[in-house]
Structure 1
Amino acid sequence: MHVDVLIIGAGPAGSACARVLAQAGQAVLLVDQHPAGRDKTCGDGLIPDAHKALARLGLLDAVMQRAQPVGHVGCIGPRGGRVDVPGTLAVLPRQQLDALLLQGAQDAGARFEQARFEAPLEDGGRVVGARLKRGDDITEVRARWVVLATGAVPKALTAAGMCERHTPSGVALRGYVKAPQMVGKITALEVVWDKAVQPGYGWIFPAPDGHFNIGVGVTDSHKDLGGGKGQKKDVNLRAIFDAFVAKYPPAAELMRAGELVGELKGAPLRCTLTGAKWTRPGLLVTGEAAGSTYSFTGEGIGKAMETGMLAADAILAHRDAPESDAAVRAQYEAALTALKPKFDLYERANRVNAHPWLADLLIWRAKKSPRLLKRMSGVLNETSNPGNLVSLKGISRLFFE
């Protein structure tokens, strides 16, 4: 079999990439080791960058018909202070979102098959396809380009020779709680900082149909031992989750009044566009495999779709060039490099998770300063610098605005 582009991974990055390419007439095969409609551990929050990406894909209306719209992020500090930051927000469980994105790729003409990536096919040092496992059978698919969109688990990256960091940047644990009686009581994307969940944060997001997504996340969860290896710090996610529920009254009420749907599930996070090579001849790495999740907030859906579309844009821009490999790689790497400073700023802002008193300070001042509240809303909309909020200069400005 031969296709123009073989995409490994049918999450937001892979499906977004596939839809853009297929709409442009490319022969696209999209594969995933899981069947369509697989679940994914995630906070499920769709912030403005996700809305923007969905709008470009032409799928925003379809997603919003199913999603729970939300008007604010509720930031809650260790002392119980709260400020509601306005934004264009929504919540849709990843199982439903990913199914819609995959269907969007198929509607555009991409083919989907359930198969597992085993190894790249190479010719003269260039990737020219992949070996895939379907059931007990190994097959080969040839392609002009292979796009790896395999998420945070490093196995595929390692097999493709692209992994630079085997351990994750962070970890998260989430569950779904059915609690119709809590509808109207929790209406914002609530993010909670407290010593009890240090060095992480807790969240409760209202989902459709009387459900709530509740969880905890810890970025910078592993020590870097060098050579791409790492060691997990003393982080017990279940203990942090239990501490969050015990410490934050709405979380305790939700767990007491509601019914846990399924089990609590954990997942790794790859952040800050680090941990993997972005390209090699014939192959591009995108989405969370490339580290497209923001540290500090743990948000990654919007940036996964954005990086997937950037990969598609690079391939399409040079599809008719006889020697296109270097040009495609250069365009894609330049596009990710342009995003990197924004990720680095979120890495700076991540100090709030390690020092929850900073959240208290920001919340206290934002309740008194419309300008600061506007800047915090700008962080959501990606028009404000999140790192400046917690820099020494930014903190000093809190007292003199």
Structure 2
Amino acid sequence: MQCDVLVVGAGPAGSACARVLAQAGVDVLLIDQAAPGRDKICGDGLIPDAHAALARLGVLDQVMARAQRVDHVGCIGPRGGRIDVPGTLAVLPRRELDALLLRAAQDAGARLLAPARFEAPVVDAAGRVAGAHLKVDGDEIEVQAQWVVLATGAVPKALSAAGLCERHTPSGVALRGYVRAPSLVGQFKALEVVWSKAVRPGYGWIFPAPDGCFNIGVGVTNSHNTLNGKGAKKDINLRAIFDAFCEHYEPAARLMREGELVGELKGAPLRCTLEGARWTRPGLLVTGEAAGSTYSFTGEGIGKAMETGMLAAEAVLQGRRQGLDDGAVRAGYEASLHALKPKFDLYQRANRVNDMPWLADLLIWRAQRSPTLLRRMSGVLNETSNPGHLVSLKGLTRLFFE
């Protein structure tokens, strides 16, 4: 089997990459280890960067026709203070979002092979990746490709097989569930993010989803000790943190009391801050959460996954248009990720709020009294303001003297 580009992983990054390439006339084979319609553990929140990426892909209207629109992120501090930060927001379960994005890639001309599992790269005599060995229905097949794009998410197995994994442990972990509670529709009008001692060193959330459902969960960043790329999970029990969230945050308790849990609670790893993996090797690009495209402070990763997937596609297309060699294509892609890296680092700095939830109380208290600070917080959401400044010494000083 042959193709121009083999994209491994049909999540937001892989489908975005495949759609952009296929629209340009590239022969794309998109594979996923699960059959279409698979679930993905996620908060399901679509913040402004996701809206922008969906618009670039030409699927925003389709997504919004199904999504639950939301106008604010509700930030709730340990002492119960609250500030609603405006933004362009929505919620759509990943099962539906990923299916829409996959269909868009196929509509553009990408071929789908699923379930098919990436086993190892095919490497030519010069040491360049020239395809992949796949496992399909128990049989191993070989696909030859000019480029391979790994968009395999947070689980590092494919990265390790490709020789690109630098950190085997995740950056964080999350646990989420869906609760159907039609009687509470309208009671939760924002993407509620909650900091408290009960969920330290993480945060809890409740997001209103379509069809009378709610996405409820907890997340913890910096969840593992790491040494030389390997390490062990810290003493963190996500289920205990989730139970504490529901016990100490009354709206969560009410949701669990009055609603019906749909399915079971599910956990997943997170890879953040564009760290933990080499981004390229000859013939191969790594994109999406496999490259660490999730923000550490918020745990949001859908928008940046799609953005990095499109950057991978654009690097390949530029190489084809200009006749660039392998090294130039890789250098162009890596430069585009390096351009994003400072923003990820700033979100990592802002992550100290999760370690010190009293900072959330301070920010909320001041934002209730400062329209300027509220605009700055909205700017963080819309990626027009620096999140690190909010919790720097200079930023904290400005809270009192601005």
Is the shorter-chain TM-score for this pair beyond 0.5, marking a shared fold?
A: yes
Task: For residue 354 of structure 1, report the CA deviation from its aligned partner.
Answer: 0.3
Pick aligned residue for 2:197 from 195, 203, 206: 195
Structure 1 stretches of 4+ moved >6 Å: none
Residue type of the alignment partner of 1:345: L
Match of 1:75 in 2: 75
Instruction: State the distance in 2 between where 1:59 and 1:260 align.
Output: 30
SS at match of 1:399: helix
SS of 2:401's partner is coil
TM-superposed CA distance for 1:119, in Å, is 0.3
State the alpha-carbon separation in 1 of the partners of residues 190 and 310 from structure 2.
29
Q: Distance in 2 between matches of 1:179 and 1:396?
A: 43
Give 1:37 deviation, angstroms.
Answer: 1.3
Q: For residue 320 of structure 1, report the CA deviation from its aligned partner.
A: 4.0
Would you say 1:371 and 2:372 are equivalent positions? yes
Instruction: Give 1:324 shift.
Output: 2.1
Task: Report the equivalent of 1:161.
Answer: 163
1:316-362 CA-to-partner distances (Å, cap 9, x unmatched) read: 01114445211110110000000000000000000000000000000
- The equivalent of 1:223 in structure 2 is 225
Give secondary structure in 1 for the equivalent of 2:294: coil
Structure 1 residue 238: Cα displacement: 0.2
- Which segments of 5 or more consecutive residues in structure 1 lack a partner in the other structure? none
Distance 2:32 2:74 in 1: 35
SS at match of 2:188: coil
Matches within 5 A, 1:214-363: 214-225=216-227, 227-363=228-364
Distance, in Å, in 2 between the alignment partners of 1:256 and 1:278 is 45
Show the counterpart of 2:43.
43
Aligned to 2:400: 399
| Counterpart Cα distance in 1 of 2:343 and 2:321 | 32
1:13-32 matches, within 5 Å, as 13-32=13-32
Q: Distance in 1 between matches of 2:105 and 2:36?
A: 12
Take 2:37 and 2:304, find their aligned partners in 1: how far apart are those partners?
A: 21
Give, in whole Å, the separation in 2 of the partners of 1:296 and 1:193: 12
Letter in 1 for 2:175: L
Q: Distance in 2 between matches of 1:126 and 1:365?
A: 55
Instruction: After superposition, give the CA deviation of every residue in 1:253-277 in whole Å (9 maximum; x if it has no partner).
Output: 0000000000000000000000000
- Partner of 1:65, secondary structure, is helix
2:157 & 2:319 partners in 1: Cα distance? 30
**Alignment match, 2:9:** 9
For 2:252 and 2:189, how far apart are their aligned partners in 1? 13
2:141 is aligned with what amino acid? T
| Partner SS for 1:319 | helix
Shift of 1:228: 1.0
- Match of 2:295, SS state, is coil
The Cα offsets for residues 190-246 of structure 1, whole Å up to 9 and x where unpaired, read as 000000000000000000010000000000000112x21011101000000000000
C-alpha distance in structure 1 between counterparts of 2:45 and 2:323, whole Å:
42
Give RMSD over aligned pairs: 0.6
Q: TM-score scaled to structure 1, two decimals?
A: 0.99
Structure-2 residue corresponding to 1:133: 135
SS across alignment from 1:375 = helix
TM-score by length of 2: 0.99
* Alpha-carbon distance in 1 for matches of 2:120, 2:275: 22
How many residues of Structure 1 are paired with residues of Structure 2 in the alignment? 400
**Stretches of structure 2 lacking an aligned partner (at least 5 in a row):** none
The one-letter amino acid paired with 2:225 is K
2-side partners of 1:132 and 1:178: how far apart? 39
CA distance in 2: counterparts of 1:322 and 1:351, whole angstroms: 45
Please state how far the C-alpha of 1:18 moved relative to its aligned partner. Answer: 0.2
Tell me the SS of whatever aligns to 1:345. Answer: helix
